[in-house]
Structure 1
Amino acid sequence: MSSGHEVAGVVLAAGAGTRYGMPKVLAHQGKWLRSAVAALDGGGCGDVVVVLGSAQVEVPAPARAVRAEDWAQGLSASLRAGIAAIDADLAVISLVDTPDVGADAVRRVLAAASATGLARAGYAGRPGHPVVIARRFWPALLTALHGDTGAAPFLRGRADVVQVECGDLATGFDVDERLREERETD
């Protein structure tokens, strides 16, 4: 059994990035992926997994890759694969397409999670990532997952989720569309 102090990070990076025009795990020649792994590693995660699906890439150290075979079913499949791949007391869930979220936000949300085991970053009051979920909540989380929806419905249904303002650290924006300049240089 876990010691009560083990923290694992999960980068969700399996999607095809249809609106973006390519899998986001490939964005900026892998820069977003490297940033996501560095944020979790530097933020206190002793184990980092990257959930892949539509594109297979080498993941940067110290992360390890996990494939969501059913990735096309949506975000729920990716989150299931990530949770199944870790053995920790706390899971820190992050997205590959929030490139300005760094280790400082991960540390802040992790610190806040010590009270209830559930915490999520907020940016100017808007909920975002990272999200920290203690192992004791994983069964309920996994039961609540469906289709292209992640942990949001599970988190919204609970009164004990600590929202941690991180707007002073990052925008937390999930990048869904490439700028025209990016498309022209890719």
Structure 2
Amino acid sequence: MAEAVCVLAAGVGSRFKGSTPKLRTIFRGKELVRWSLEAALAVPAEEHFVVVGGTEIGDLIPKGFEVLENDRYQSGMASSVMVAIEEARLKGLNAITIGLGDQPGIDARCWTSVFVSRTSPITVATYDGKRRNPVRLAESVWGLMPAVGDLGARELISSHPELVAEVACDAEPFDIDTLEDLEIWR
């Protein structure tokens, strides 16, 4: 079974009011997006994607990633998920594990735990019982994904609980959405 992992890194981070674009902001010694990219790259997937748009981060993307451009990033996270799914379809892949570029506390162990889970069409990471990213989506559920909006796979997960398996992860699943978030987690 050939699969991909994907970091969603499109958007402008409109709630982040810093002098530097959010994903380029230094967090614990390196650019915020690098934490997610490096964790995802450590997963033994056949393909590694990063979906970009809105903020230039090309110089921060390590070798080993295929860069996918989302020209519709302003329509919400779902459009980035769809860009990744379309590329996975074109490549004949069977599943894709997706995470966010602004969650630096999610490590490679968590990404890998979700990636290797094959018990259900949808696998979601949990942290102290709360569902968060990354999420693995088998090809059989790609057609159920919403094409627009900011919920990503959350809508699919909540509407089809019978298709979902959970994987407990021991990591910090916080998002950096605002300057206040950055200060709390530094």
* TM-score of the aligned structures, taking structure 2 as reference length: 0.84
- In structure 2, the partner of 1:116 is 120
TM-superposed CA distance for 1:111, in Å, is 2.8
The SS at the match of 2:163 is coil
Contact preservation (8 Å) 1:120, 1:162 = yes
- Alpha-carbon distance between aligned partners in 2 of 1:53 and 1:81, rounded to the nearest angstrom: 11
The SS at the match of 2:174 is coil
- In structure 1, the partner of 2:177 is 176
Partner residue of 2:95 out of 90, 93, 96? 90
- In structure 2, the partner of 1:26 is 24
Runs of 4+ in 1 over 6 A off after TM superposition: none
Partner residue of 1:12 out of 4, 8, 14? 8
Unaligned runs of 5+ in 1: none
- Counterpart AA for 1:27: T
Provide Cα deviations, 1:18-62, integer angstroms capped at 9, x if missing partner.
112254332328633222222222122221111111112222111
Q: Which moved more, 1:123-132 or 1:21-30?
A: 21-30
- Counterpart AA for 1:132: R
- Counterpart AA for 1:24: K
Residues 9, 23 of structure 1: alpha-carbon distance in 2 compared, 3 angstrom cutoff:
farther
Contact preservation (8 Å) 1:23, 1:54 = no
Residues 90, 177 of structure 1: alpha-carbon distance in 2 compared, 3 angstrom cutoff:
same
Residue 71 of structure 1 pairs with residue 67 of structure 2: no
Provide Cα deviations, 1:155-186, integer angstroms capped at 9, x if missing partner.
111122011111x2x1111121224986xxxx
- Alpha-carbon distance between aligned partners in 2 of 1:180 and 1:140, rounded to the nearest angstrom: 32
- Alpha-carbon distance between aligned partners in 1 of 2:96 and 2:182, rounded to the nearest angstrom: 36
Which structure is higher in strand share? Answer: 2
Contact preservation (8 Å) 2:10, 2:52 = yes
- Alpha-carbon distance between aligned partners in 1 of 2:140 and 2:44, rounded to the nearest angstrom: 20
Unaligned runs of 5+ in 2: none
* TM-score of the aligned structures, taking structure 1 as reference length: 0.84
| Identical-pair percentage | 26
